[in-house]
């Protein structure tokens, strides 16, 4: 049997998922899984999430919550390997080895590092700096071809390719493959409050969360920043707020944003916002119901992670043995 190309992606358990995470990444995870062309690995990046301020007593809950999000959205542990990063020690081990060949200068260029250090001035830890090296390890361990992510992660993927090349050149052979990023049509959903910035968990008031109740969705969309014009048109430059809402509508209905603008050409902003509200509420109704059921059985979710992590570790350990040999640690 021919083996399928490998697809890997992860998310940090650091808060509730928003519609940017969904349209930029998670929705694509599910579609790619169901498409069946790839062997998919989806994981909870708990080690990465320790680089931002967190409460130890909440971390476990966040891990379970994100696992429920994955499954509620349609990730199926029978089709994909679903695992927890910290249950596969090879990730940390490879990250250390890759640290020793990654130039500081490459890491200093990372915009996410610059943004996050500015945001958490009191906690600019070394983990935040080497974050992309751990991400490279996550990806390179599995012989990954494609990595579905939002566009804010593309720079990290470029670094992953650089590190893979450096390793292969330094130690000879082709231990690592260079992966490609896979973007959706909405790789950057913008903030509801400030459409010049991306929607981000760090600004909760800018987000539509996947498990928001219909009343919250209605209130947030009603308050979403648009412009003072009255004509509905898709124009990201001149009408960034409205265009962001049109893009969300388009992504959920598999239409182009221009076509959505045309459909609402005679409507007021308020009328369009009402329609968007009912679309978002009904689109995620099944997700909300699934998630409630899954959260009632946390032990089942933990079992999913444990069994997936065993499968992932089997693959990762083989690559780790090869790496240790290459770098001279083993005969
Ligand atoms: P956040 O920036 O909200 O903390 P994460 O960094 O945990 O989100 O991102 C998880 C995934 O969701 C990544 O693949 C990321 O690229 C994607 N993503 C995050 N925010 C957005 C957004 N506003 N639009 C599209 N994709 C996004
Ligand atoms: N850095 C990613 C994010 O913030 C999460 C992540 C960690 C990831 N390791 C990965 C994504 C490997 C894809 C592949 O969203």
Give residues (CB < 6 A) around ligand 2.
8-12, 45, 48, 135, 138-139, 147, 149, 153
CA distance 113 to 153: 11
Ligand 1 centroid to residue 259 C-alpha, Å: 26
Q: Mean pLDDT over residues 229-257, rounded?
A: 97
CA of 308 to the centre of ligand 2 (A): 18
Q: Of 232, 274, 277, 282, nearest to 257 (Cα)?
A: 232
Structural domain spans, the chain: 6-188+298-327, 213-283
7-39 confidence digits (pLDDT tens): 999 999 999 999 999 999 999 999 999 999 999
Euclidean distance between CA atoms 72 and 268, whole angstroms: 34
pLDDT given for residue 203 in this prediction: 87
**What spacing in Å lies between the alpha carbon of 226 and ligand 1's midpoint?**
22
Asked if CATH classification 3.90.1570.10 holds for the domain at 213-283, the reply, yes or no, is no
Alpha helices in 41-110 (DSSP H): 46-49, 56-73, 90-99, 104-108
The alpha carbon of 265 and the centre of ligand 2 are apart by a number of angstroms equal to 39
Which residues participate in catalysis according to the annotation? 116, 198, 201
Nearest CA to ligand 1 atom 2: 200
The pLDDT tens digits for 116-126 are: 999 999 999 99
Are the C-beta atoms of 300 and 293 separated by less than 8 Å? no
Pick the CATH number of 6-188+298-327 from 3.40.50.620, 3.40.50.970, 3.30.1490.20, 3.40.50.150: 3.40.50.620
Edge to edge, the sheet with strand 81-84 lists 81-84, 39-44, 6-11, 144-148, 180-182
Pick from 71-80, 94-103, 113-122, 197-206: least confident = 197-206
Contact 88, 46 (CB under 8 A): no
Closest residue CA from atom 5 of ligand 2 = 11
- Which residues have CB under 6 Å of ligand 1? 11-12, 20-21, 24-25, 149-150, 152-153, 187-189, 198-201
Atom of ligand 2 nearest to the CA of 25: 15
Distances (CA, A) of 208 to 137, 276, 280: 31, 12, 9
- Ligand closest to the CA atom of residue 6: 2
If one counts every other C-beta atom within 10 angstroms of the C-beta of residue 239, the result is: 20
Given a cut of 80, is residue 2 above it in pLDDT? no
Judged by its nearest atom, the ligand closest to the C-alpha of residue 66 is 1
């Amino acid at each position: 049997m021919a083996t399928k190309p490998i697809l890997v992606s992860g998310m940090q358990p650091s808060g509730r998922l928003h519609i940017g995470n969904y349209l930029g990444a998670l929705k694509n995870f599910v579609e790619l899984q169901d498409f069946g062309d790839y062997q998919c690995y989806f994981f909870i990046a708990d080690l990465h999430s320790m680089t931002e301020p967190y409460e130890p007593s909440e971390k476990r809950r966040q891990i379970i919550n994100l696992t429920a999000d994955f499954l509620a959205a349609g990730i199926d542990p029978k089709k994909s390997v679903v695992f927890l990063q910290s249950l596969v020690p090879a990730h940390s081990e490879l990250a250390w080895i890759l640290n020793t060949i990654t130039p500081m200068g490459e890491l200093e260029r990372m915009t996410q590092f610059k943004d996050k250090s500015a945001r958490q001035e009191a906690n600019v830890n070394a983990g935040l700096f080497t974050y992309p090296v751990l991400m490279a390890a996550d990806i390179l361990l599995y012989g990954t071809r494609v990595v579905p992510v939002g566009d804010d992660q593309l720079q990290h993927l470029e670094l992953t390719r650089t590190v893979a090349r450096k390793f292969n050149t330094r130690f000879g052979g082709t231990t690592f493959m260079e992966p490609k990023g896979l973007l959706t049509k909405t790789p950057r959903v913008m903030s509801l409050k400030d459409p010049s910035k991306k929607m981000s968990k760090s600004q909760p008031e800018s987000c539509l969360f996947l498990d928001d109740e219909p009343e919250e969705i209605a209130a947030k969309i009603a308050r979403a920043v648009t412009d003072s014009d009255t004509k509905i048109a898709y124009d990201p430059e001149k009408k960034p707020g409205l265009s962001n809402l049109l893009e969300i509508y388009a992504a959920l209905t598999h239409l182009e944003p221009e076509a959505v603008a045309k459909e609402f050409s005679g409507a007021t902003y308020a009328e369009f916002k009402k329609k968007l509200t009912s679309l978002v509420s009904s689109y995620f109704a099944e997700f909300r119901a699934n998630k409630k059921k899954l959260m009632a059985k946390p032990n089942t979710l933990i079992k999913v992670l444990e069994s997936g992590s065993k499968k992932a570790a089997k693959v990762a350990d083989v690559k780790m043995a090869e790496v240790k040999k290459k770098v001279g640690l083993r005969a």
